[in-house]
Amino acid sequence: MARPEDEKLIKALLRRKLLKREDLASMSAKAKKSLTSNGITKTFIAEFKLDDVALARVIADEFSIPVIQSSERFAAISFPEFDRAFIDRYRIFPLILHKDEATVAVIDPPYEQVVEKLRKMFKRNILTVVVPLSLFESLSRSVEEKTEAVKPKAPKVNLEAIDVEARGRQWAETVEKSGELPNAATVLAKILESADNLAASDIHFEVTKDGFFLVRVRVDGVMQRAVTLPRTYVESLPRIIRQSSSVDAFKKNEVQEGRLVFPLQDKKINTRMNIIPTNTGERIVLRILSKQRQTLSLSELGMSSHDRESLKEMLESSSGVFLFAGPPGCGKTMTMYAALNHLNNTSRSIATLENPVEIELDGINQISIDDLRGSNHADLIRALMRQDVDILGIGEIHNQDEAEALIEVGSAGLTVLATVCAKDSIETILQIQNLGVKPEQLSLALRGIVAQRFVRRVCPDCTEKYRPKRELLHRVGLMHLSPTTDLIRGKGCKRCYGTGYSGKLPLFEILIINDALSSLIYRRSSYSELKTSAERIGFSSIYFDALRKLFGGYTTLEEVLRVQ
């Protein structure tokens, strides 16, 4: 939608016959898009060949601001906040600074929102004048030339240029002695930028046996090496991470957890940090979190329509305990969030207990355990039961006290959702039992389990058909597949960084607990007995979902083998 100031300018141009209505009607798609990025002045001059001086005069008359057509009395002034990026973004240029006032030149109409933003940012009264586009560009170039002359460029780090694996051990030892390596803060910023570009979920820092600092990232569920840093970063880089976090920067050789927010260009990266000592040195893992407020729905999870309807039926059927299982980083928390959103309406009171709150959900009371230091997790679960809550979402269950509190609340008529680290849904049952929950209590409270994994998606830009090796088919149980069957894989290209994969796909299995399964849980039956009974009522495992994705051409045989 056009801003009021733009609409006012357009009416003035039509009235003065500098523009025709048919011109507006025939604007190209490129020009319409340019209005947002380049503004009305640059767009109209490029599209309709308007004279920039005449256009500046119209803006001056319509908005009662001065027009300046010569730069003889003006030059680039020193005002740190007004760098080149700022000038390009807001299309303004600082001309005069006097006490508590700043006079700025504009090429577009003086937008009220922008002027107010400048006033708050710089705590000065903002006066505007309009200049022709040609003069504005001349002034902008003068800023760039002056900045380049007096201000050093920000250091840029090429990770390959400091990679021990690429350059060699001898190089690392030589360059460490020379002191020519970039500082740790700059290297960390580059690692975070690279991880963000790759859409990584985790960053791992670990010391190798020969003392170098290995950095790996998890992309689409698979670990890959990012860079191996020289020994000098083993001490300095963790120090920078600690200083930026909520942990004690001076404590070492003990398990520590904290949260960090890293500024990166025009955004912030929220992370959860875990440090643990190893035999070679400290190992640090940063889990990259999304702090945006989102509305997640079951339809966005990538489930088949059958699985989605089964999950809806399971959630709406009755109260009790519903578990979301899988290995770390598989998306189980996201699925639990979507389930909570599905249950969310004004007739229900919903609360969550998390460590930390990963995504903010509208209409749901979310409690961070970090904000309640000193409180026992299990006691907090029971306390929420006394808060007149209908539905309770809990972060990951780790021990007997938490598991027993979960079952206790679920047995009291509440609906409880929680996550568990487990390979699949059947193993989840055995794991909860192994935590010390009595089988008779678990059999009464448990209503269903959603287990999931991720497989990597074949890159759409470099797909090719191929005949798989019989040996590989045997390993995934497809020995009876026709030898003429073609499967899909990625050859590797720039888009997928040569991996053949781009993005990831979720795999699901949904286990609804019926009377027969409850009886088996009560008797503490084996894995095979539980699975056989589940298959009789139509249960299909993650493996079969992986096969569906394989034959649909979405993933590869190797990925099926990885999650088998």
Residue 248 scores a pLDDT above 70: no
Q: Would you list the DSSP string of 341-362? A: HHH--TTS-EEEEESS--SB-T
Rounded CA separation 237/191 (Å): 11
Lowest mean pLDDT among 146-155, 207-216, 273-282: 146-155
Asked whether residue 181 falls in the same domain as residue 95, the answer is no
Asked whether residue 132 falls in the same domain as residue 237, the answer is no
Residue 325 forms beta bridges with which residues? 420, 451
Distance of CA 294 to the CA centre of its chain: 12
Q: Quick one: average pLDDT of 240-256?
A: 67
| CATH code of residue 374 | 3.40.50.300
Q: What is the pLDDT of residue 428?
A: 95
Q: Tell me, what DSSP letter sits at residue 363?
A: T
Q: Which of 170-184, 218-232, 337-351, 508-522 tops mean pLDDT?
A: 508-522
Q: Quick one: average pLDDT of 387-394?
A: 88
Asked whether residue 29 falls in the same domain as residue 124, the answer is yes
pLDDT tens across 129-158, in order? 899 998 888 777 665 544 443 333 444 778
Q: What is the pLDDT of residue 442?
A: 94
Which pTM was predicted? 0.62
Q: How far apart are the first and last CA of the chain?
A: 51
Question: In the structure encoding, which two tokens stand for residue 316, read together?
Answer: 């709406």
Domain stop point among 132, 150, 168? 150
Residue 225 scores a pLDDT above 50: yes
Asked whether residue 85 falls in the same domain as residue 211, the answer is no
Question: In the structure encoding, which two tokens stand for residue 137, read together?
Answer: 């560009």
Q: What is the pLDDT of residue 99?
A: 59
Number of domains the chain is built from: 3
Q: Quick one: average pLDDT of 320-339?
A: 90
Q: What is the pLDDT of residue 76?
A: 44
Q: In the chain, what percentage of residues exceed pLDDT 70?
A: 89
Q: Which domain holds residue 215?
A: 159-289
Rounded CA separation 79/94 (Å): 8
Rounded CA separation 171/183 (Å): 17
Asked whether residue 247 falls in the same domain as residue 273, the answer is yes
Question: In the structure encoding, which two tokens stand for residue 423, read together?
Answer: 């390979």
Q: Tell me, what DSSP letter sits at residue 245?
A: S
Asked whether residue 79 falls in the same domain as residue 119, the answer is yes
Q: What is the pLDDT of residue 148?
A: 44
Residue 323 forms beta bridges with which residues? 418, 449
Closest of 33, 51, 44 to residue 6, by C-alpha? 44
Asked whether residue 376 falls in the same domain as residue 505, the answer is yes
Asked whether residue 373 falls in the same domain as residue 521, the answer is yes
Q: What is the pLDDT of residue 100?
A: 67
Asked whether residue 369 falls in the same domain as residue 485, the answer is yes
Q: In the chain, what percentage of residues exceed pLDDT 90?
A: 27
**244 band by pLDDT with thresholds 50, 70 and 90:** low
| CATH code of residue 243 | 3.30.450.90
Q: What is the pLDDT of residue 429?
A: 95
* CA distances to 163, 185, 224, 228 from 167, in Å: 6, 21, 19, 10
Asked whether residue 302 falls in the same domain as residue 262, the answer is no
**246 band by pLDDT with thresholds 50, 70 and 90:** low
Residue 311 scores a pLDDT above 70: yes
Residue 461 vs residue 370, higher pLDDT: 461
- Residue type, position 244, single letter: S
Lowest mean pLDDT among 137-151, 277-291, 407-421: 137-151
Q: What is the pLDDT of residue 77?
A: 47
Distance of CA 510 to the CA centre of its chain: 26
pLDDT tens across 432-489, in order? 999 999 999 999 999 999 999 989 999 989 999 989 888 888 888 887 888 888 899 9
Asked whether residue 285 falls in the same domain as residue 312, the answer is no
Domain stop point among 265, 289, 313? 289
Alpha helices in 323-480 (DSSP H): 332-343, 377-385, 400-411, 425-434, 439-445, 470-475
Q: What is the pLDDT of residue 326?
A: 92
pLDDT tens across 87-125, in order? 777 888 877 765 567 788 899 999 988 888 888 777 778
Residue 17 vs residue 81, higher pLDDT: 17
Q: What is the pLDDT of residue 556?
A: 92
Domain stop point among 254, 289, 324? 289
Asked whether residue 207 falls in the same domain as residue 239, the answer is yes
Q: Would you list the DSSP string of 474-489? A: HHTT-TTS-TT--EEE
Residue 527 vs residue 103, higher pLDDT: 527
Rounded CA separation 35/45 (Å): 11
Lowest mean pLDDT among 356-360, 361-365, 380-384, 481-485: 356-360
**562 band by pLDDT with thresholds 50, 70 and 90:** confident
